[in-house]
Structure 1
Amino acid sequence: MTLEDFWTLIHRSATESNGQAQRAEWLTAHLAHRPASEIVEFELHLAAQRKRVDTRLMWGAAWNIMQGWCSDDGFWYFQPWLVGLGRDTFERVAARPDALAETHEVRRLAGRPTSEWTDDEWPDWESMNYIALYAYERATGEEEGLEHALEARGLQRICNASPTDERWDYDDIEQRRAKLPRLTELLGERHPVS
């Protein structure tokens, strides 16, 4: 499976199903019909794309979009959500996290308390973390087959965020203005009461 194949599957999941749960099931079902080696490649492509956005700058963007509700796990789930936005959007925001201010998905959340967001509006996609895992099990019948296939290559499945860039205070308005000016302007200086 090439990187192009990976992004084609992500795109098709968005056009052929609705909502994250349906997209995850669509991807799982389609991957399960492919050779096990391609399922491993899908996992590796997802991990490589996540690594590109596994930064504290991106975490600060997620933190502010989610109005402070972005723990370690929250940021881990935010990363596949970014992938789910599709290749063009992902490339833009991976290069410049402040470009999230231009996305429809973020603009529709701006100014609204998180208590009003629907499940599909939340900028996270936890179930994408398990697509290759479940597809591999369906394809091979091996419950921990994906982990074993990765280990055979000297790799392990990544299961948490681990940014290594410079720490900063996501709530500090001056730092937000300097690092994420457009996102800060869109979201405002204070978070609405959730």
Structure 2
Amino acid sequence: MNEKEFWSLIEKSKEQENQDEQNHWLMEQLTHKIETEIVDFGMIFETFMTQSYDQKLWGAAYVIMGGCSDDLFDYFRGWLIAQGEEIYKGVLNSPEILADYIPQDWHDEELMPDNEEILSVAQDAYTFKKTNSTEYDEAAADHFQEELDHRGASITREIEFEWEDDDDLSKMFPKLWKRFGEEPLEY
């Protein structure tokens, strides 16, 4: 599987009614692939997670959600990848486009810009191939991670933040701040 095929799967997955169905559809599609293609998908996904591990994007997520922990930033980046190539690349280039992309009615927990489950879609599909079950299997999970490591999956690096407080964020992201600064999306 290459990046073009990866993004094609993501694009098709967006036809599902909601995020849970999107994740399930992706996992199901991957279970029909051979193991190396599942690992390819996982590696490409990890590459995009690494590319998006950026202080500027973290600041944008912080403004949108009124705070953003390490885990929530992972879920936010998973959500961003699930939006497809155009949005993903556009947001990496200019996080301010999220002010126009996120609908006004997104003060609903089901519509929050986070997608924790997509982080394990490839591992779940790999587990299914190995065990014929979607239940977590430590040996399959370890083997999947070993495959990613063997391919050079990168370890998350430290981020130096250029922002310290709301004043910095409001200057960095005026459009996002105008939209979410006083009324962030909250759980």
Q: TM-score category by the smaller chain?
A: 0.7 to 0.9
From 149, 154, 178, the counterpart of 2:171: 178
Unaligned runs of 5+ residues in structure 1 are 110-115
Q: What corresponds to 1:14 in structure 2?
A: 14
TM-score norm. by structure 2 comes to 0.84
C-alpha distance in structure 2 between counterparts of 1:29 and 1:192, whole Å: 34
Q: What corresponds to 1:113 in structure 2?
A: none
C-alpha distance in structure 2 between counterparts of 1:193 and 1:25, whole Å: 25
Alignment map for 1:42-121 (pairs within 5 Å): 42-68=41-67, 70-103=68-101, 105=102, 107-109=104-106, 116-119=107-110, 121=111
Unaligned runs of 5+ residues in structure 2 are none
1:122 is the counterpart of 2:136: no
SS in 1 for 2:14: helix
Deviation string for 1:72-126 (max 9, x for gaps)? Answer: 11111000100111111111001122222221x25444xxxxxx4131x111000
SS in 2 for 1:166: coil
TM-score norm. by structure 1 comes to 0.82
Tell me the CA shift for residue 128 of structure 1: 0.3
1:141 is the counterpart of 2:135: no
Is the Cα–Cα contact under 8 Å of residues 80 and 129 in structure 1 kept in the other structure?
yes
Q: Give the RMSD, CA atoms, in angstroms.
A: 2.5
From 111, 114, 132, the counterpart of 2:122: 132
Tell me the CA shift for residue 145 of structure 1: 2.8
Q: What corresponds to 2:180 in structure 1?
A: 187
- Aligned residues, how many? 180
Among all aligned residue pairs of Structure 1 and Structure 2, give the percentage whose two residues are the same amino acid. 28
Change (3 A) 1:99 1:23: same
Change (3 A) 1:162 1:19: farther
Tell me the CA shift for residue 53 of structure 1: 1.3
C-alpha distance in structure 2 between counterparts of 1:130 and 1:186, whole Å: 31
C-alpha distance in structure 2 between counterparts of 1:28 and 1:4, whole Å: 18
Change (3 A) 1:107 1:57: farther
C-alpha distance in structure 1 between counterparts of 2:162 and 2:21, whole Å: 36
Is the Cα–Cα contact under 8 Å of residues 137 and 146 in structure 1 kept in the other structure?
yes
Deviation string for 1:125-152 (max 9, x for gaps)? Answer: 0000110111001112283335324425
Letter of the 1:66 counterpart: M
Structure 1 stretches of 4+ moved >6 Å: 156-159
Is the Cα–Cα contact under 8 Å of residues 39 and 132 in structure 1 kept in the other structure?
yes
Change (3 A) 1:192 1:125: closer
